[in-house]
Amino acid sequence: MNKNKPFWKTKSLSEMSDEEWESLCDGCGRCCIYILHNEDTGDVFETDVGCKLFDPKKRACTNYANRSKLVSDCVQLTPDNVERLHWMPKTCAYRRLANGKELKDWHPLISGDRESVARAGIAVSPDLIPENEIDNDLLESRITKVR
Ligand code: SF4
Ligand code: SF4
């Protein structure tokens, strides 16, 4: 009797088709920026430095199919690992559903508009610095906020 309910309310993450799974990504781009961890406090800091494959204007990976081969530390989300990835943003749709939460109103599956993510202040800046334009030692000076 779930005919009128959307798939993310009726299926678990592991029951979703590939297409459904991919559509859950809100396109915020916040898993494609460099982050720093404070090992003592557990804090995670976001920077305004993006992965070399990330296009910040389109908020998309420029080689999604080959991302794991081209970027060794690109983490592929799965229903099995999403609950363990505590550094992922709390707004991430996968993380929210894995934690039993609802999608927010600004999620494109609800708003019908990909730009609602940016209007809600969730998306990364279109002016991210590409990683190949900054020295790793300077990452700390690029912190924008605590995640
Ligand atoms: S943080 Fe989650 S919702 Fe945002 S781009 Fe990454 S996978 Fe998609
Ligand atoms: S390889 Fe693509 S999906 Fe992976 S972090 Fe970089 S831009 Fe994001």
Taking the CA atoms of 122, 67, 24 and 35 in sequence, report the sign of the dihedral they define.
negative
Is residue 65 in some structural domain?
Answer: yes
Give the number of the ligand closest to the Cα of residue 98. 1
Q: Locate 19 and state its tokens.
A: 């297409």
Is residue 123 in some structural domain?
Answer: yes
Query: Model-level pTM?
Result: 0.92
Segment 103-131, tens digit of pLDDT = 999 999 999 999 999 999 999 999 999 99
Our mutation pick for probing the ligand 1 site, out of 16, 21, 28, counting the most ligand atoms within 8 A of Cβ, is 28
Residue 23 has pLDDT above 60, yes or no: yes
> Which residue range(s) make up the domain with 98?
15-146
Look at ligand 2, atom 5, and give the residue with the nearest C-alpha.
32
Is residue 3 in some structural domain?
Answer: no
Look at ligand 2, atom 4, and give the residue with the nearest C-alpha.
74
| Residues 61, 42: Cα–Cα separation, whole Å | 28
Give the number of the ligand closest to the Cα of residue 68. 2
Is residue 43 in some structural domain?
Answer: yes
Which stretch of DSSP H or E encloses residue 30?
none
Nearest atom of ligand 1 to the alpha carbon of 88:
1
pLDDT band at 147 (very low <50, low <70, confident <90, very high): confident
Is residue 20 in some structural domain?
Answer: yes
Is residue 67 in some structural domain?
Answer: yes
Is residue 22 in some structural domain?
Answer: yes
Segment 62-103, tens digit of pLDDT = 999 999 999 999 999 999 999 899 899 999 999 999 999 999
Q: Locate 85 and state its tokens.
A: 């990835």
Total domains, the chain: 1
Give the number of the ligand closest to the Cα of residue 61. 2
| Residues 76, 97: Cα–Cα separation, whole Å | 17
What integer pLDDT is reported at residue 2 of this predicted model? 61
Is residue 4 in some structural domain?
Answer: no
What integer pLDDT is reported at residue 56 of this predicted model? 96
